[in-house]
Amino acid sequence: MLEAIAEEICACQRCPLGRGRLKAVPGDGPAHPKVMLIGEAPGHHENQQGRPFVGPAGQFLSELLAAARLRREDVFITNIVKCRPPGNRDPQPEEIEACGDFLSRQIAAIRPQMIVTLGRYSLGRFFPGQAISRIHGQPSTVGTATVFPMYHPAAALHQPTLRKTLLDDMAKLPGILALLEPRPAPPPPVEPPRQLNLF
């Protein structure tokens, strides 16, 4: 299911970002992780490699995950917008809208218990009009997931005082995850019927 969505994203021309990209960045991670992280949009390095958070902000994200005793391969990482906005400008409302259905389908396929929003665009998807400075680090239930808003890791690269805020917020995750009800494992893949050799 996730692969089919990724294929559609890689062929997408729903908005002008599709024409300017080198590679679309559908997202990376296991099919049914507990935790999904949603950033803003691919930058220069992500556009080159087709993978999310592989530049300097990604290095800090890996550090943050380590602070929560999580590895990158344990979580699914994606963005609100799947193609790089030119010059790393902010994503426009019509680009967010054009990509919105891909993200909804990824969330429905993954069914994460916890969604970590990184930055204000990702926050706006779940809590429109709320200020990140007011609600970062505070989990809330949205549908079947717990949504945990955080500043964007790149913000700490420009504003070093946010580094500690991000590390402190991330350090809360293991405690919050431990309180979540375990979900039943997804059904195993259906195996093709075996040929019976009776003779």
Q: Which residues bind ligand URA (CB under 6 A)?
A: 25, 39-43, 46, 52-53, 57, 79, 154
Distance in Å, CB of 87 to ligand URA, minimum = 14
Its sign, for the CA torsion 8, 13, 15, 18, is positive
Which one, 83 or 182, has the nearer CB to ligand URA?
A: 83
Which one, 53 or 102, has the nearer CB to ligand URA?
A: 53
CA 199 remoteness from chain centre = 54
Residue nearest to ligand URA (CB): 39
The answer to whether the beta carbons of residues 40 and 52 sit under 8 Å apart is no
Residue with tokens 């220069």: 44
Distance in Å, CB of 53 to ligand URA, minimum = 4
Distance in Å, CB of 183 to ligand URA, minimum = 27
Distance in Å, CB of 54 to ligand URA, minimum = 7
Which one, 52 or 184, has the nearer CB to ligand URA?
A: 52
Which one, 26 or 112, has the nearer CB to ligand URA?
A: 26
Burial class (CB in 10 A: 0-12, 13-18, 19+), 171: middle
Q: Which helix (H) or strand (E) holds 2?
A: helix 2-11
Strands 140-142, 114-118: pairing kind: unpaired
